[in-house]
Structure 1
Amino acid sequence: MAIHDNILIKIRDMKDSLTPVEKMVAEYVLANTEEIPHLSIKNLAQFSKTSDASVLRFCKTMGYSGYRGFIVSISASLGYMEEDQKDPYTDIQPGDDLPVIIANIFRNNIKSIEDTISVINWNEIARAIKVLRESTRIVFFGIGASGLVCIDAEQKFSRINKMCHAYTDGHSQLTAATLLGKGDVAFLVSNSGDTAEILDALEIARKNGATTIALTKYNKSELADLSNIVLNISTPEITMRSGAMGSRIAMLSVIDVLFAGVASAEYQKVQKFLSKTHNILAGKRRK
């Protein structure tokens, strides 16, 4: 699988959190991708019924210093978009045959992981690994499906002797956040970035001096805006539970990357812990 940075996926995921005028630019770009590389900033402003300044603001919101860099990225992404259209996200439909369900779920999960590679910031991953390595303890916060991601993270980091714990209900999260301090990491998981309980925990953790890491979809959100480090995933635009499944798989993949990054960097130190935990678990298996 080729690793590429696809600006069209970023626009798709960010679209609903843009300002109304920026959203007009985004919708025109997504509906007319083939012609965008041939348009001047004035043309795009005219066709999207906005202004030159609005188009430029949109480019800056998407991470570009100017219009030219944005157009170059659009051109590079067009080939990848053709592949995406051959294999789009597919929602669960009533009465689907089992082979169709199997194919669609696996395809959605694969696409969620591939699209996440396009939106995740590698520098933020590196910063997160450094912070997790240096932390006194790690506390994972998540509600519902995000809580399952936290439990997985706790299980992994515990194996290399990191002091960590996952909290998956609102009351215990408030207590845990209150006890955090400098040197601790609050790792907050929320697909939307707007989960009330997670934002409450974030506010308390920030006040107490803990470093905050957010794992959330590529979007503008309060969680992303207020966290020290932001790790983004890509989520499909479909309505049924298959969407949540895809985001969960992408989040679990990011957790795997963080765990592998920490374990690899500290391999001499953690090898004995991995061996000990492997051996004790292997000893419990029935012959």
Structure 2
Amino acid sequence: MYGSLIRIKEIINDLNPSEKKIAEYILKTPKEISDLSIKDLADKSGSSQSAVVRLCKILGYKGYKEFRITIAKDTAKANKDENMYNDINPQDDIDTIIKNISYNNKKSIDNTVEVLSKEALEKAVKVISKADKVDFYGVGASYLIALDAFQKFTRINKNVRATSDTHLQIEFASNLKKGDVAVAISYSGETKDTFESIEVAKNAGATTISITKFGSNSISNLCDINLFVLSPEITFRSGAMSSRIAQLNVVDILFTSVAGRMFGDVKKFLENTRMSTRIKRIK
């Protein structure tokens, strides 16, 4: 499991004081960690061994040994600026904007790969494949991700729903049952409407999946399966940009995995949709 430094940067502001001391020490001196015992790290950071153990668990590692190994791998392969996103300045010319936006989008996908759990993904694919009904909830830019998921899964004749109307989302959620699946999409994990919809879905008996930023947040804490993305915010933004790309990439992975798992059953539907849309082409 890679991406330890990326994970720490993303959740550092959500840690308690003792855990934050350790995180700050690691980010400041990552090359030293591979040579430190758990006691050494606790002493040098001015914290405790129990706080080190908690931090490892928060970051998704089985223990300090696994965490220390991934830190060593991170520092071996990364240079100082590898995980830095380029902010956008109003005075940037077109060439600079092209390079920076493209870099940020590519980096958000690379960083998401580092924190996306294969185990969680396999669970999500399994429950979606078996589900009678699948809902996708999101508002604003996240609704566009839900709509993209709706379009993709419709191609394989999956019974899916997505709407921008948050009242309808609640109605959809209330009529789900055991065996159905609801997917909440919110980068912050704190979108009130999306939280309410997924909470109703969970109470109705559906299996719940989140697509949020890495770390603890209200939606991921509620859901059964968490698919994390990583796309740190930058200053000059009118809305979600690289985070949207990361979420779309997760939806693509989900769809391809489900379609592959069910290929014998969905092959005819893929062919049907391909043939039916040909009439919409000019050439």
The answer to whether TM tops 0.5 is yes
Aligned residue number for residue 160 of structure 1: 156
SS at match of 2:276: helix
SS at match of 1:24: helix
CA contact (8 A) 2:137 2:198 kept: no
Q: Mean Cα displacement is larger for which, 274-283 or 43-52?
A: 43-52
Aligned residue number for residue 259 of structure 2: 263
SS at match of 1:165: strand
Letter in 1 for 2:58: T
SS at match of 1:35: helix
Aligned residue number for residue 192 of structure 2: 196
User: Sequence identity, in percent?
Assistant: 43
Deviation at 1:157, TM superposition (A): 0.2
* Equivalent in 125, 145, 151 of residue 147 of structure 2: 151
Aligned residue number for residue 55 of structure 1: 52
Letter in 1 for 2:157: N
Q: Mean Cα displacement is larger for which, 23-32 or 55-64?
A: 55-64
Q: Does residue 80 of structure 1 match 2:49?
A: no
* Equivalent in 214, 219, 224 of residue 218 of structure 1: 214
CA deviation vs aligned residue, 1:141-166 (integer Å, no higher than 9, x gap): 00111100000000000010001111
Q: Does residue 7 of structure 1 match 2:8?
A: no
Give the paired residue count: 283
> Hey, what's the Cα distance between the residues in 2 that align with 1:17 and 1:86?
23
Gap change, CA 1:134 and 1:87, over 3 Å in 2: closer
CA contact (8 A) 1:142 1:190 kept: yes
Aligned residue number for residue 39 of structure 1: 36
Aligned residue number for residue 224 of structure 2: 228
Q: Does residue 30 of structure 1 match 2:27?
A: yes
Gap change, CA 1:166 and 1:266, over 3 Å in 2: same
SS at match of 1:34: helix
Gap change, CA 1:117 and 1:186, over 3 Å in 2: same
Structure 1 length normalisation: TM-score?
A: 0.93
* Equivalent in 122, 125, 138 of residue 121 of structure 2: 125
CA deviation vs aligned residue, 1:52-100 (integer Å, no higher than 9, x gap): 2222222232233433322111111112331x71573101111101000
Deviation at 1:206, TM superposition (A): 1.1
Deviation at 1:237, TM superposition (A): 4.2
Aligned residue number for residue 171 of structure 2: 175
SS at match of 1:230: strand
SS at match of 2:183: strand
> Hey, what's the Cα distance between the residues in 2 that align with 1:174 and 1:21?
40
Alignment RMSD: 1.7
Q: Does residue 108 of structure 1 match 2:87?
A: no
Deviation at 1:235, TM superposition (A): 1.4
Unmatched 5+ stretches in structure 2:
none
> Hey, what's the Cα distance between the residues in 1 that align with 2:276 and 2:170?
34
SS at match of 2:54: helix
Q: Mean Cα displacement is larger for which, 124-133 or 28-37?
A: 28-37
Structure 2 length normalisation: TM-score?
A: 0.94
CA contact (8 A) 2:6 2:83 kept: no
Aligned residue number for residue 94 of structure 1: 90
Unmatched 5+ stretches in structure 1:
none
Gap change, CA 1:185 and 1:87, over 3 Å in 2: closer
> Hey, what's the Cα distance between the residues in 2 that align with 1:131 and 1:286?
39
SS at match of 2:47: coil
Q: Mean Cα displacement is larger for which, 162-171 or 257-266?
A: 162-171
CA contact (8 A) 1:11 1:26 kept: yes
* Equivalent in 225, 231, 246 of residue 250 of structure 1: 246
Letter in 2 for 1:201: S
Gap change, CA 1:87 and 1:269, over 3 Å in 2: same
